[in-house]
Amino acid sequence: MGEKSVDSADLPTFSILIETSNLGQTEMDALRTSLKTLAHQTISPERAEEVVLIEGPEVPEGAATPLYREYPWLTSHRLEEEIGYGDVKARGGGIGTGEVVVLCDADCRYQPDWLEQLLAPLVERPDVEIVAGETTTPVDGPYGLAMALAFVFPRGSQDGDLVPARWYWANNVAFRRSTLEAVPLPEGLPLFRGQTIVHGALLQESGHTIWRQPAARAIHELPHPSELLRRFFLKGKDAGTISRLMSDPSGRSFVGGMEPGRPRGRLGDLFRRLRTVLAEDRRRVLQLPIAIFPAAAAGAAYLTGRLWARFERDPIPRPTSGDAGRRAPVARQRA
């Protein structure tokens, strides 16, 4: 399918949901940048039924008010209680009225045709129910290089068409609402991140196909260095928990730290990433002697988390597609 434009008259109605769970680390500047990229989409967010900013407690009350004035198409839904990232996404599915639900994050920058590329397959193919884009990270210096090697987001693929995927990024995906209502994101999982891997398995068990759209591209902010060890420890812990959730002690259910296609294992994946980032810019080889230290620290924290998860013995019931009930749509409010 590749990069195609769609006739705006053929578009389904759609809602865009933006969560703010990471703003404790990236602050409001990341949100402003994200909204600016949404404002300049080839399909204007003004065409959406609603663009909802889901404000959690990490956003000080009133801090986003100037943004609602700058972007009149932006509406607010305030969460008074602090809940996990995955639960924010799960509840977000009940907000809005569009036939298609688009999930994105406050700490991502979106390419100008990102929304168009997500929606195009849903217009062109009635059998397509879920379209997942590709998310990666910037490589601006040694730390960015380290995260390109170690963080969950892979480099962009060279695929030119829709391909089936096992899961999706919750910062870059579009669902037909009927599919999301039939198999909602499960709430209350004992995870920091990784709910989409569990949800992906539930979708496939229910007969749904997740399609990856390489042309729908997003750039995710890097984890702050002060959060590095904690984030990777929790990522490792999640890997072990997901293995137990999916009744797969081998860990294969948690493929590549949320990255599809690791036929050569984690070491092979590391070398594949290294080849890719050096192919993008050969000068990065000069940054490797510095980048290796944060990358190694991230790997050690991840392995510590995996080891920690091994000693957890509390039973975790395997979720099913019927476990998470869909909440009634929540009325939006304009700030």
At 163-198, the pLDDT tens digits run: 999 889 999 999 999 999 999 988 888 888 888 888
pLDDT computed for residue 248 by the predictor: 60
Evaluate if residue 311 carries a pLDDT over 50. yes
Evaluate if residue 60 carries a pLDDT over 70. yes
* pLDDT tier for residue 63 given thresholds of 50, 70 and 90: confident
SS3 string, the chain, reads CCCCCCCHHHCCCEEEEEECCCHHHHHHHHHHHHHHHHHCCCCCHHHCCEEEEEECCCCCCCCCHHHHHHCCCEEEEECCCCCCHHHHHHHHCCECCCCEEEEEECCEEECCCHHHHHHHHHHHCCCCCEEEEEEECCCCCHHHHHHHHHCCCCCCCCCCCCEEECCCCCCEEEEEHHHHHHCCCCCCCCCCCCHHHHHHHHHHHCCCCEEEEEEEEEEECCCCHHHHHHHHHHHHHHHHHHHHHCCCCCCCCCHHHCCCCCCCHHHHHHHHHHHHHHHHCHHHHHHHHHHHHHHHHHHHHHHHHHHHHHCCCCCCCCCCCCCCCCCCCECCECC
Does residue 196 fall inside a structural domain?
yes
pLDDT computed for residue 4 by the predictor: 61
Lowest mean pLDDT among 84-88, 210-214, 268-272: 84-88
Total structural domains within the chain: 1
Lowest mean pLDDT among 108-112, 210-214, 288-292, 312-316: 312-316
**255: CATH:** 3.90.550.10
Does residue 93 fall inside a structural domain?
yes
Q: What is the average pLDDT across 290-295?
A: 96
Lowest mean pLDDT among 233-237, 239-243, 312-316: 312-316
Does residue 319 fall inside a structural domain?
no
Does residue 323 fall inside a structural domain?
no
Does residue 25 fall inside a structural domain?
yes
Structural domain of residue 20, as residue ranges?
A: 8-310
Does residue 3 fall inside a structural domain?
no
Evaluate if residue 334 carries a pLDDT over 80. no
pLDDT computed for residue 275 by the predictor: 92
Does residue 315 fall inside a structural domain?
no
Does residue 35 fall inside a structural domain?
yes
